[in-house]
Amino acid sequence: MSDNILIQVEDVKKYYNGEKIKALDGVSADIKKGEVVVVIGPSGSGKSTFLRCLNLLEAPTSGRILFDGTDITDPRTNINNHRQHMGMVFQHFNLFPNMTILKNLTLAPIKLRKKSKEEAEKEALALLGRVGLEDRANAYSSQLSGGQKQRIAIVRALCMNPEVMLFDEPTSALDPEMVGEVLDVMKQLAREGMTMVVVTHEMGFAREVGSRVIFMDEGRIVEEGTPSEIFDSPKSDRLKSFLAKIL
């Protein structure tokens, strides 16, 4: 195994209701350090399930997932320790509504990383500044726009200083005019070399930022390659018809 591989997914299957619903039907993939992997596909193709399996928010029915060489699907592995190194951003932000933004950002670093309140707040404010929201530190999430919420959610994950960031349709719940500000933050992260796995419908983002694009359908990876391979010369008929519909 190359040292360069951060997450190794080996023949992961996820079935619901016995074997009636096959959300993932044998998916294997390697995610290398510094790579931006964009996962695209029609709804119900299993792309979100794939992403959620990476940090075990969904437990795979079978198969293995190795993170930094550790098999996190092994019941003896303490998944909580590994999740601290895998940031996740959700479609619906999931900020904690009963806390201020600053508390949202510092809760995990203080409780899990045992940082002092001052240190955690200093780091949080610095990161907030990078997304241009340091003036909202004492606001509550209900006082923010969708785009601001999502930028804060990204910062919350970054405060744990993760090795990889997982994005689950981060712009799908946003008003069109707010999509840009969130994508800009993600692009900046990618430029800084963050390893990212992004499930999205933003084909422009995939083309511009993605180092690799994975096209999924019916719980399988149908095609993968560089953005130009996927978008300019698709091979499979399924991908061709998908692209024809959305572009």
Partner 1 sequence: MAEWFADFKTDFIICFVEKNRWKFIVNGLGNTLKITLFALILGIAIGVIVAVVRSTWDKNGADMRRGFGRGLLRFFNGICKIYLTVIRGTPVVVQLMIMYYVIFAASDNGVLVAAIAFGINSGAYVAEIVRSGIMSVDEGQFEAGRSLGFNYIQTMRYIIVPQAFKVVLPALANEFITLLKETSVAGYVAVKDLTKGADIIRGATYQTFMPLMAVAIVYLVMVMFFTWLVGKLERRLRSNER
Contacts of partner 1 in 157-176 (CB under 8 A): 157, 160
User: Longest C-alpha distance within the chain, in Å?
Assistant: 56
CB atoms within 10 A of CB 177: 10
DSSP secondary structure code for residue 145 in this structure? -
Distance between CA atoms of residues 138 and 34, nearest Å: 33
Distance between CA atoms of residues 32 and 25, nearest Å: 22
The reply to whether 211 sits near partner 1 by the rule CB under 8 A is: no
Nearer to partner 1, 81 or 116 (CB): 81
Helix, coil or strand: residue 167: strand
Report the DSSP beta bridge partners of residue 197.
37, 166
Answer for which of 43, 98, 114, 118 binds partner 1 (CB under 8 A) is 98
The reply to whether 126 sits near partner 1 by the rule CB under 8 A is: no
The reply to whether 83 sits near partner 1 by the rule CB under 8 A is: yes
CB of residue 114 to partner 1, shortest distance in Å? 12
Answer for which of 11, 19, 28, 59 binds partner 1 (CB under 8 A) is 59
Scanning 22-30, 64-72, 152-160, 237-245 for contacts with partner 1 by CB under 8 A, the matching segment is: 152-160
Answer for which of 32, 33, 77, 140 binds partner 1 (CB under 8 A) is 140
Strands of 62-67's sheet, edge to edge?
21-32, 5-16, 62-67, 70-71
Residue ranges that bind partner 1, judged by CB under 8 A: 55, 57, 59, 75, 80-84, 86-88, 90, 92, 94-98, 107-108, 111-112, 140, 142-143, 156-157, 160
